[in-house]
Amino acid sequence: MNRTLLVTLSLLLCTSLYSQKVSISLFNDSNLNTILVTPTEGSYKLILGNSEIRLGVDQIVYLSRVGDSILVRDANSNLGTWSRVSIVGQTEEDAIRLKPILPSIPARVYSDNISIYVEFNRLMAINMIDREKYIASVVEAESGPNKDEEFYKAQSLIARTFALAHLEKHKGEGFNLCDGTHCQAYKGKMNFDKDIYKATVATKDLVIVDTTKQFITAAFHSNCGGFTANSQDVWLTPKSYLVSVEDRYCTGARNASWEVKIPLGKWKKFLQSKGVDTTAITDIKQYDFKPKERPVYYPIANQKIPTIQIRSNFKLRSAFFSVTAVKNIIRIDGRGYGHGVGLCQEGAMQMASRGWKYDKIINYYYKKVKIVNISEVDQTRSIDIIIEKKDSTVVQTEKK
């Protein structure tokens, strides 16, 4: 594909804050080479150059990369080789199944339109989708079915705030967001839970901003274990709205507690790698540690080891734990699941089931924030992107 055409396509695919459509790269982490495409609802047009072919439900189209082009075939015939294939929905309820054959990946179903072209020596499959349908799917992927509506509303605001703050994240590649954890998990329609879509539409255009009217980094995690974490204790940057709060709502939930046993020898070796002189520890009770609140450090032999480093090294579910040494075993009694910053999903679910409204939930976990219409967002300032790294933190600042 020539460069000019690619740039033109890129401009068409990248949408602005006010656009009702977003473009998402599908199976973005995979090196797609052959895909089977089948409409499952509504009706589609397959656009090849100047010709349009109607595609009904269950009709099959194969798309294979051949060099820089796409070989297109239906069940009966070869439809030629093209630089770009567009599959455009004709109703409000269109859905289409994409089944990657090479490599083989389980099929997913998507709403709205699909564009396919070759770039980076692979097929790119871009879903041009209504923004609210996309957000509802992200909420479903990140929080699962059968939750209360107010929880889904809170999670919709988080997904929308992230999406709109990062519309330019893949600008150079010609689309808005990818479908992996690099951006937000997006698995297509999944069950397309009607309650989730209702909650998303009920909060249409609402986002979360800080006191300077910029999008917040709407961090969330599964369970905080009773206390959320300060941003700067997990990452490098303090954020006025990502501060530790006590949470009594999640402590009875599924991910509230866990236990891991580590051989004492392994524990000692780790401490030595952090510069601790373990020969000075004469009584194994000196390893014990019973924090009442979320700890930032594990104190040992006059040293302080950041608990996030212990979490990372031993692949613990969280950095909130107590330590008990029993003979040759270190028992870790942990609380919560995830980094602990921002909204605690299991706490928020419990709040919603007790009748809390979404704005009260948002304001509980994010301090001094405002829920506003996107038209009120200050877009002239830079966006901070916080990336969680294994031991330390990298903070990238994107200048607009």
250 or 308: CB nearest Zn ion: 250
For residue 267, the minimal CB distance to Zn ion (Å) is 27
283-302 residues near Zn ion, rule: CB under 5 A: none
The identity of residue 3, as a single letter, is R
**Residue 175 contacts residue 28 (beta carbons within 8 Å):** no
For residue 327, the minimal CB distance to Zn ion (Å) is 33
**Residue 103 contacts residue 77 (beta carbons within 8 Å):** no
Please choose, out of 126-134, 207-215, 223-231, 376-384, the segment that lies near Zn ion by the rule CB under 5 A. 223-231
For residue 324, the minimal CB distance to Zn ion (Å) is 23
Please choose, out of 59-67, 184-192, 224-232, 324-332, the segment that lies near Zn ion by the rule CB under 5 A. 224-232
Quickly tell me which residue has 């924090």 as its tokens. 291
Find the binder of Zn ion among 73, 182, 213, 357 (CB under 5 A).
Answer: 182
Dmax (CA) for the chain in angstroms is 81
Question: Hey, how many other C-beta atoms are within 10 angstroms of the C-beta on 111?
Answer: 22
Number of residues that bind Zn ion (CB under 5 A): 8
201 or 394: CB nearest Zn ion: 394
Residues 6+ positions from 46 with CB-CB distance below 8 Å: 52, 53, 54, 55, 61, 72, 79, 85, 86, 87
Residues 6+ positions from 206 with CB-CB distance below 8 Å: 157, 160, 371, 372, 373, 374
Tell me the C-alpha distance between 153 and 39, whole Å: 30
Residue 338 binds Zn ion, judged by CB under 5 A: no
For residue 276, the minimal CB distance to Zn ion (Å) is 31
221 or 239: CB nearest Zn ion: 221
For residue 351, the minimal CB distance to Zn ion (Å) is 10
319 or 325: CB nearest Zn ion: 319
Residue 250 binds Zn ion, judged by CB under 5 A: yes
For 21, 90, 216, the CA distances from 133, given in Å and listed in that order, are 9, 16, 22
Residue 178 binds Zn ion, judged by CB under 5 A: yes
Closest CA to 128 of 28, 5, 21: 21
Tell me the C-alpha distance between 79 and 75, whole Å: 10
**Residue 115 contacts residue 63 (beta carbons within 8 Å):** no
For residue 183, the minimal CB distance to Zn ion (Å) is 3
Quickly tell me which residue has 């010709």 as its tokens. 51
89 or 336: CB nearest Zn ion: 336
343-372 residues near Zn ion, rule: CB under 5 A: 344, 347
Please choose, out of 170-178, 198-206, 298-306, 309-317, the segment that lies near Zn ion by the rule CB under 5 A. 170-178
178 or 199: CB nearest Zn ion: 178
Find the binder of Zn ion among 247, 300, 311, 332 (CB under 5 A).
Answer: 247
For residue 269, the minimal CB distance to Zn ion (Å) is 32
Please choose, out of 78-86, 135-143, 229-237, 240-248, the segment that lies near Zn ion by the rule CB under 5 A. 240-248
The identity of residue 376, as a single letter, is E
Find the binder of Zn ion among 224, 229, 310, 319 (CB under 5 A).
Answer: 224
Residues 6+ positions from 395 with CB-CB distance below 8 Å: 235, 236, 237, 384, 385, 386, 387
For residue 389, the minimal CB distance to Zn ion (Å) is 17
Residue 219 binds Zn ion, judged by CB under 5 A: no
**Backbone phi and psi for residue 41, each to the nearest 5 degrees, phi listed first:** -145, 155
Closest CA to 276 of 249, 257, 252, 304: 304
For residue 76, the minimal CB distance to Zn ion (Å) is 38
Find the binder of Zn ion among 26, 116, 183, 386 (CB under 5 A).
Answer: 183
Q: What is the DSSP letter of 155?
A: H
For residue 344, the minimal CB distance to Zn ion (Å) is 3
Residue 128 binds Zn ion, judged by CB under 5 A: no
| Binding site residues, Zn ion, CB under 5 A | 178, 182-183, 224, 247, 250, 344, 347
